[in-house]
Structure 1
Amino acid sequence: MPFAFSYAARSDVGMVRSENQDSGYAGPRLLAMADGMGGHAGGDIASSVVIGALADLDDEALGSAEASKALLQRITSANDELAEMVKSDPSLHGMGTTLIAILRSNNKLVLAHIGDSRAFLARDGQLTQITKDHSFVQSLVDEGRITADEAIGHPQRSLVTRVLTGQVDDEPDMTVREARMGDRYLIASDGLTDYVAGDTIADIVTAGEAPGPTADRLVDLALKAGAPDNVTIVIGDVVDLTKVDAPPTQPQIVGAASTRTKSTRAIPVTPAAKAAALTREATGGDDDEVTLAEEGPVGPGRWFRRAAVLAVILVVLGGGAYAAYDWSQGQYFVGAHDGKVAIFQGVSQDLGPIALSHVEEPSDVLVSNLPDFYRAKVQASISKDTLEDAEALVEELRIEASKCAVSRATGGACSTDELTPTPGSTTSPSSTTTTPSTTTTSSTTTGTPSTTTR
């Protein structure tokens, strides 16, 4: 049975942002959406580079195994390109992008996902989220520290823990799904999911309208809800080519990837040409650029609505920022300060130039005296619920440092395997609680990933 996507892609800058950092692509074989971050440091560039690297996959008929390898290879290549761009232009430091891509191979769909953008499957009248956010708040949910309902309005819901930034360990989650006739796939940036209720999204997506009108309705709802962020929607319906009249064949490119700043020219007619054009634009290597019509000119009604909502949003954001800071100051963690163990009040992440923690209680315990395991944990930071718990942990670390110092003084070795943690110690390998930014899934290298407020 010949499968294909009937598709649509839409994007809007949102009610507050002055630039669109999202990029979207929808074609017969490929659906993709990238939500760039980094502001003027290059969020739009990052999303454009990644979408440009994937675009020509839409023109290749690959087997399932080939499709998985090809998709991961293109993502890795795009991530390497981001690294080279940052290396050659330090002003781009801090840029990155989320990515969700769905590549069709016969009746199989290869899905790649990194970041907090979301993909959904509509089947038999039900809408189900099929990706899991790589975010600080999701890690709190996974640890049972907050509920899914509490995560919706959490002040730090915009902190992401895994995105494409050019680092060698920026790897997406990869899955393969079976395509079924009648399935609908929705990819959305957080400009939709953060501001429109899940039940409302489900009602619209499963209402039976074609991809284009459905995407339009979702964007409109996000704007009516006052979404300050960019809003990008990509929809693909799995259809039988023998039972539909003239399914679309011309890919749709929206958002930052569709924007050119100089002169005009036609959209490249082949996916390979699109990929080259998008890459040239992102790297600034093409002097003959074009602005592609995507949503049409913005009418005066929208500008009036944006101005009205902006005043409300500024008030809400002010209150949200205070709530986020207030929440952070109720947290504690044990970390390293000037070579010694210290108790910090706050959280270990910073929001750009704003520090969210300070030393609450220093100690005389040298980090260098700790066994390797404990030293690594302290350097990464160990979160605690209360100040008393943190003080107890420091005392345990003091004992371990003393053991290690004695062992070294007598010519012995000092390693985790040779030292037995105090019974019930919260710093043993089986019970250590670390901050979400230092414990990731098995596919991610342990470390401190960049957390970016989006």
Structure 2
Amino acid sequence: MTLALRYAARSDVGLVRHDNQDSAYAGPNLLVVADGMGGHAGGDIASSLAISALAPLDTPEHGPDQALQDLEETVERARQDLVHASEISPELAGMGTTVTALLRSGNTLAMAHLGDSRAYLLRDDKLTQVTVDHTFVQHLVDTGRISPDEAETHPQRNVVMRVLGDFDVDLTPDMSIREARAGDRWLLCSDGLSGFVPVDQITEVLARCESPDEAADMLITLAMTAGSTDNITVVVADLVDDETTPAAAPTETTQVVGAAATDVAAPVSRDTGTEPATTESAPADPADDADDEDDGTDDVRPKRRPWIGVLVLLLVLAGVGLGGWWAYGWTQDQYYLGVAEGQVAVYQGIPQDAGPLTLSRAVEVTDTSVDDLPAYWVERLDGSIRTGSLDEALERADRLAEEAAPTPVPSPSPSPSSSPSPSGSPRPDSSPSEEPAQAAEEGDA
């Protein structure tokens, strides 16, 4: 049996944040989620550098015994990149990021984990949280000092004790080997999802949605509906037997989302719904993930200098040993949904101009008017909705057309004396479980 990955990556700035400090990568052999520390200088740079360091691992050349070592060594290399970047640019000192990564090697998966991003495994309709949060509150739960229920509302629930950064804390990642089975569905996510959406709702979505794309979209929507005050990033991946399951063909296009997508392809700020990331002028406490959940606001911080984006771009290209022409070619393999003259449009490229070079063009302008869409989708389109391929972009455009379709108006009753039949109400979404969940599953990191 030959196993392959079928995957989808999504990232959204969320309802409150002004910038996206999350990054994610999904490829045929590698899945990564990195959540830049919201209260740290350069969280977006930190998560982008982590992705750029790990991306070269996305090859099928790792033997089962070598994959774990390769992954651990590359995480350390990412830390060194963060240190080097902060040395070049002192205002970035103190930046950090979580890292949760899966590297496929045959029928096994090597895993690295630092921080409070999470990995979940859906197997035989049962969802298991595979990672353990590296948070102060989780430590209190593990040592019996507080209960899981108390952890839900603990004032220090956002303090992360172990992350990838340029500061002197425990940076040793949790490393493990996981069995890969056909039919498994993996979810990697930032705490913008896991901190706001109950695990039973996550389970329902993963079990119900047929494709990773559908599941990823639904999870983002759930987090937004739940009022997530953080960036939201998910990677959903299915393990499939590509020899016997032609209908579930593996994904072949690499997907990069969040800050890494902006920084890799856009050294100059772009005009989208996700604003360019910013940095603080002074380093923050490296152990404190200041997510600002309580007040729902971001600190006012100065814009980072434009050359910081260029620095990230150069580091990415150096990490993969490729040049500018490769970078341009990569942009032309990307597709997204945007707006053209008030209509939903499918674009090839990325929503960014690099100096005089335009990196995108509309390949199809649909008949769907943006004015007919719900406000949530209008906001998503303003920031561009990335897709993995042209076919996927066209399919999602069709779905938006259905969203914009007017609701049929019922015909008036022919008899004024007849009473209208009560209309059925839609089935509400699953509500949070009344039973307190373990902090390792529901803890707000």
Please report the TM-score for the alignment, with normalisation by the length of structure 1.
0.60
**Superposed, which structure 2 residues align to 1:274-313 within 5 Å?**
279-280=312-313, 296=338, 301-302=375-376
Return the offset for 1:86: 1.3
**Superposed, which structure 2 residues align to 1:138-153 within 5 Å?**
138-153=138-153
Task: Measure the CA separation in 1 of the matches of 2:122 and 2:62.
Answer: 25
Q: Secondary structure at the match of 1:41?
A: coil
Partner of 1:57: 57
Partner of 2:254: 251
Partner of 1:236: 237
- Residues 263, 118 of structure 1: alpha-carbon distance in 2 compared, 3 angstrom cutoff: closer
Partner of 1:441: none
Return the offset for 1:157: 1.2
Q: Given the alignment of the two structures, is residue 101 of structure 1 paired with residue 175 of structure 2, yes or no?
A: no
Partner of 2:215: 214
Task: Measure the CA separation in 2 of the matches of 1:87 and 1:110.
Answer: 31
Task: Measure the CA separation in 2 of the matches of 1:278 and 1:108.
Answer: 35
Return the offset for 1:71: 0.8
Superposed CA deviations along residues 202-254 of structure 1, whole A, max 9, x for unmatched, are: 11111142100000000001011111100000011110011224421011111
Superposed CA deviations along residues 18-69 of structure 1, whole A, max 9, x for unmatched, are: 1110001111111110000155721011001111111121123211121111
User: Higher RCO, 1 or 2 (CA under 8 Å, sep at least 6)?
Assistant: 2
Superposed CA deviations along residues 358-413 of structure 1, whole A, max 9, x for unmatched, are: xxxxxxxxxxxxxxxxxxxxxxxxxxxxxxxxxxxxxxxxxxxxxxxxxxxxxxxx
Superposed CA deviations along residues 133-192 of structure 1, whole A, max 9, x for unmatched, are: 000110110111222232223222111000001247412110001101101110010000
Partner of 2:175: 174
2:94·2:166 contact (CA, 8 Å) conserved in 1?
no
Partner of 2:283: none
Q: Given the alignment of the two structures, is residue 190 of structure 1 paired with residue 191 of structure 2, yes or no?
A: yes
Partner of 1:73: 73
Task: Read off the aligned partner of 1:302 and give its amino acid letter.
Answer: Y
Q: How many residues align?
A: 297
Partner of 1:227: 228
Task: Measure the CA separation in 2 of the matches of 1:147 and 1:50.
Answer: 34
Q: Secondary structure at the match of 1:59?
A: coil
Task: Measure the CA separation in 2 of the matches of 1:210 and 1:226.
Answer: 25
- Residues 233, 38 of structure 1: alpha-carbon distance in 2 compared, 3 angstrom cutoff: closer
Return the offset for 1:87: 1.8
Task: Read off the aligned partner of 1:256 and give its amino acid letter.
Answer: A
Q: CA RMSD in A?
A: 3.1
Partner of 2:279: none
Task: Measure the CA separation in 2 of the matches of 1:281 and 1:191.
Answer: 29
Task: Measure the CA separation in 1 of the matches of 2:176 and 2:228.
Answer: 30
Higher percent of residues as helix: 1
Runs of 4+ in 1 over 4 A off after TM superposition: 281-300, 303-306
- Residues 172, 178 of structure 1: alpha-carbon distance in 2 compared, 3 angstrom cutoff: same
Task: Measure the CA separation in 2 of the matches of 1:191 and 1:153.
Answer: 16
Return the offset for 1:305: 8.8
1:33·1:99 contact (CA, 8 Å) conserved in 2?
yes
Return the offset for 1:84: 1.3
**Superposed, which structure 2 residues align to 1:296-375 within 5 Å?**
296=338, 301-302=375-376
Q: Secondary structure at the match of 2:157?
A: coil
Task: Read off the aligned partner of 2:268 and give its amino acid letter.
Answer: K
2:40·2:94 contact (CA, 8 Å) conserved in 1?
no
Q: Secondary structure at the match of 1:156?
A: coil
Partner of 1:391: none
Q: Given the alignment of the two structures, is residue 37 of structure 1 paired with residue 37 of structure 2, yes or no?
A: yes
- Residues 294, 67 of structure 1: alpha-carbon distance in 2 compared, 3 angstrom cutoff: farther
**Superposed, which structure 2 residues align to 1:3-18 within 5 Å?**
3-18=3-18
- Residues 294, 279 of structure 1: alpha-carbon distance in 2 compared, 3 angstrom cutoff: farther
Task: Measure the CA separation in 2 of the matches of 1:228 and 1:284.
Answer: 33
- Residues 94, 296 of structure 1: alpha-carbon distance in 2 compared, 3 angstrom cutoff: farther
- Residues 296, 228 of structure 1: alpha-carbon distance in 2 compared, 3 angstrom cutoff: farther
Please report the TM-score for the alignment, with normalisation by the length of structure 2.
0.61
Unmatched 5+ residue regions in structure 1?
265-276, 307-452
